[in-house]
Amino acid sequence: MRNILVTGGAGFIGSNLTLELQARYPEARIVVVDDFRSGDFKNLRGFRGDVVAGDVSRLDWAEQFGDRVFDGIFHLASITDTTVHDQFLQVHDNVEGFRRLLAFAEPNQTPVVYASSAATYGMAGGKQVEDQAPAPANVYAFSKVQLDNLAREQAARNPAWRMVGLRYFNVYGPREVHKKAAASMIYQLYLQMKAGKRPRVFRAGEHCRDFVYVKDVVALTIRAATAPRSGVFNCGSGVAISFNEVIAALNGCLGTALEAEYMDNPFAHFYQSFTQADMGRARAELDFTPAWTPALGIADYVRSLEAQS
């Protein structure tokens, strides 16, 4: 890949992706588009490419990039705080940004990899499989379902054009500090425990999540750019672990014995109690198997956090 565009490249996953692309393709020209509403320039320290400060849902793509042809577009820009309930804002900024990007990519049929979300599965229990019906429980998830719908419709009209959506599960890892309250629970619990406090989780700590390490997320996102067909793919670790198990892993890494403090869940009406990605499709069609189990990923992440503190 010689010409690459990354939207949302100042964010958590986007910056990890951008810096990995730069390392893998040192000759490539990489452009990041980000409006910094939740991202942070500090995530892009060491980036040698071009940064366009722009809102993807308002940008005039043709004016900005002219007839420049990209070999691949990675679209991660999105409102990512799921507690933003302004329905117009979430749907406008997330969906119109993607619509404009697709209109720009269509003439050259530039391969597009975009961030969908496990949130599209809603409250459904059990292993989440790509073909199950979407059941968005909040407007953020609803906006991601619209991305999947738009891509599916475009793919049906343009069978040769590849558009791949990745349903990221709960991503954790370096460069998420700027997300503050929206950062992963693994980071939140680490911070509390590092400060010597008992880690606070919703009663009784048995909600399960598929926590996926950002290094696996980046690897699958790059792999998806050469997918043989359009479609959506889960992007998780394939393993569900409870918050109690996360706390146990963090205690092990930090050498502490802090017990969980349980609290009532104020978001019970739209809170997923169990998420686990079925990674069968990614394995079969993209030849991808996650390299980081939760235990290995948490240990690697804590090592990097401790090295900075």
Ligand X SMILES: NC(=O)c1ccc[n+]([C@@H]2O[C@H](COP(=O)([O-])OP(=O)(O)OC[C@H]3O[C@@H](n4cnc5c(N)ncnc54)[C@H](O)[C@@H]3O)[C@@H](O)[C@H]2O)c1
Query: Rule CB under 6 A: which residues touch ligand X?
Result: 7-8, 10-14, 33-39, 55-57, 76-80, 93, 97, 115, 117, 168, 170-171, 179
**Strand arrangement of the beta sheet that strand 3-7 belongs to:** 50-53, 29-34, 3-7, 72-75, 112-117, 163-168, 231-235
Nearer CB in complex with ligand X: 55/285: 55
Q: Residue 243: helix, strand or coil by DSSP? A: helix
Nearer residue to ligand X within complex by CB, 262 or 274: 274
Query: In whole angstroms, how close is the CB of 93 to ligand X at the nearest point?
Result: 4
Task: Tell me the two tokens of residue 227.
Answer: 């997918």
Neighbours of 149 (CB within 10 A): 12
Peptide bond connecting 204 to the previous residue in cis, omega within 30 degrees of 0? yes
130 or 261: whose CB is closer to ligand X?
130
Active site residues: 140, 179
User: Closest approach of Cβ 300 to ligand X, in Å?
Assistant: 17
User: In 3D, which of 71, 117, 122, 124 has the Cα closest to residue 98?
Assistant: 117
Nearer to ligand X, 39 or 111 (CB): 39
Gap between the Cα atoms of 153 and 111, Å rounded: 15
Q: How far is the CB of 229 from ligand X (least distance, A)?
A: 22
H or E segment to which residue 108 belongs:
none
Paired tokens of 246: 């996360």
Least distance in angstroms from the C-beta of 10 to ligand X = 4
